[in-house]
Amino acid sequence: MDQYTYEIKIPKERVAVLIGKEGSIKKSIEEDTSTTLKIDSNEGDVFVSGEDALKLYSAREIITAIGRGFNPDIALKLLKSDIIFEIIHIAEYARNKNDEKRLKGRIIGQEGKSRKIIEELSDAHICVYGKTASFIGEAYNVSLAKRAVSSLLNGSTHAKVFKYLERQRVINKTKEFEAKNKG
């Protein structure tokens, strides 16, 4: 059997989270994905190797998600086939360093309120860390959350973005209801 290896760089301050208490998170990832993790704590380099390319990909996504600030419990949801992980690079929307900070603030909102509302209305998990906003959830929900965050980054008002999400939620619930009551 062929052995595949990925090298993933994560922020040094996220290494302890990846390892977990007494290596519990590292062990859990290794067991759930049939992979082996070698972690260089000083550099933030993670080497993940295994024989199953699909499981290796899952391990890489989980490690990257933890590196982007997600709680390991949420990152481990990526083991499910219908859960995806996506990233937006805030710097792509910013004109300068100060702008990056302001844009991060627009996504998070006062005391995290804006991020919380987007999460609730889209049913996706959002993490703003460093220069990125990351998303975990079902594909449709992630695309909704991503679109909402992109709209905020492009200057839309919070009210307009929340209204859009609420409309989409009603449309989605209506479709689910109709599908359930069809047969």
In a domain, 78, yes or no: no
In Å, what is the CA distance from 28 to each residue of 18, 81, 157?
Answer: 10, 18, 41
**Model-level pTM?**
0.92
Averages of pLDDT over runs of 10 residues in the chain (183 residues) are 88 96 96 96 95 94 97 97 96 91 95 96 96 96 97 96 94 87 76
Residue 77 lies in a domain: no
Same domain, 94 and 154: yes
User: CA 84, CA 142: separation in Å to the nearest integer?
Assistant: 8
Expressed as residue numbers, the domain containing 26 is: 4-72
In a domain, 57, yes or no: yes
- Same domain, yes or no, for 87 and 52? no
Strand intervals (E) in 23-82: 35-40, 45-50
66 belongs to a structural domain:
yes
- Evaluate whether 66 touches 17 at the Cβ level (below 8 Å): yes
- What's the sign of the alpha-carbon dihedral 172, 178, 181, 183? negative
The domain that holds 25 is classified in CATH as: 3.30.1370.10
- Specify the number of domains making up the chain: 2
Q: Which pLDDT does position 35 carry in this prediction?
A: 96
Domain presence at residue 106: yes
Do both 10 and 32 map to the same domain? yes
pLDDT digits (tens, 9 = 90+) for 48-90: 999 999 999 999 999 999 999 999 999 999 999 999 999 999 9
